[in-house]
Chains A and B, each alone.
Chain A
Amino acid sequence: DIQMTQSPSSLSASVGDRVTITCRASQSISSYLNWFQQRPGKAPKLLIYSASSLQSGVPSRFSGSGSGTDFTLTISSLQPEDFATYYCQQSYSTPCSFGQGTKLEIK
């Protein structure tokens, strides 16, 4: 099974900051990497699929990059509604697997 490791596990930042979250796969997953946002008490929401494709309706301040084993999610200018937990997920093989999550908190 493929293991997904995110870093950092938590991150403090301010409105307007640029932040980057990284995700590493235990083996190559090509570009089958997705990013989700989860606000407290809510279901996860798809932000990015195929490593860099923005899901419909997601603001352009979110972007993703990477291929193979190393991936990043970047938020160019943090907005108040962006403070949430972010998960990466590989859809390269079954079982799919999620990273442990990165909690983005207000500084």
Chain B
Amino acid sequence: EVQLVESGGGLVKPGGSLRLSCAASGFTFSTYSMNWVRQAPGKGLEWVSSISSSSSYIYYADSVKGRFTISRDNAKNSLYLQMNSLRAEDTAVYYCARDGGVAVAGSFDYWGQGTLVTVSS
């Protein structure tokens, strides 16, 4: 069974940093691209960042570029999001999501349960 479990969320002050983790199991993690998607309270879904299977290709939303860094450790079946210079508008539930690849036309076929990041003084 595919499982994605996020951790690392919490309350942080504006300008602070936080590192999110996503532990993957039930599939060959090293062969899939992965993503972070966030959802502000009461709002819609916003793609944040993606990373290819071997970390060769990395992309960011303009809203986080220069502040967030995505990475992965295929030996540990883990995905990470380092978030620096956090702002109030970064407050959201952060989901990790698997890119299902060509089998599902690049859609996100599995999602974690999410971890809440709150940026407030």
List residues of chain A with CB under 8 Å of any chain B CB: 31-32, 34, 36, 38, 42-46, 49-50, 53, 55, 87, 89, 91, 94-101
B47 touches A34 (CB 8 A): no
A43 touches B45 (CB 8 A): no
Shortest B119–chain A CB gap in Å is 21
Further pairs besides A34-B108, A44-B111, A96-B106: 10, Cβ < 8 Å: A34-B104, A34-B105, A44-B97, A46-B107, A49-B109, A89-B108, A91-B105, A91-B106, A97-B47, A101-B45
Question: A96's closest neighbor in chain B, by CB?
Answer: B47
**Which secondary structure dominates chain A's binding surface?**
loop
Question: B108's closest neighbor in chain A, by CB?
Answer: A46
Interface size on B, residues (CB 8 A): 21
Which of these, B46, B61, B112, contacts A43 with CB under 8 Å?
A: B112
Interface presence of B26 (CB below 8 A): no
Q: Inside 8 A of A32's CB, which chain B residues have their CB?
A: 105-106
Which of these, B105, B111, B113, contacts A50 with CB under 8 Å?
A: B105
Q: Inside 8 A of B104's CB, which chain A residues have their CB?
A: 34, 46, 49-50, 53, 55
Measured between alpha carbons, how far is A55 from B104 in the docked complex, in Å? 8
Q: Inside 8 A of A49's CB, which chain B residues have their CB?
A: 100, 104-105, 107, 109
Measured between alpha carbons, how far is A91 from B95 in the docked complex, in Å? 17
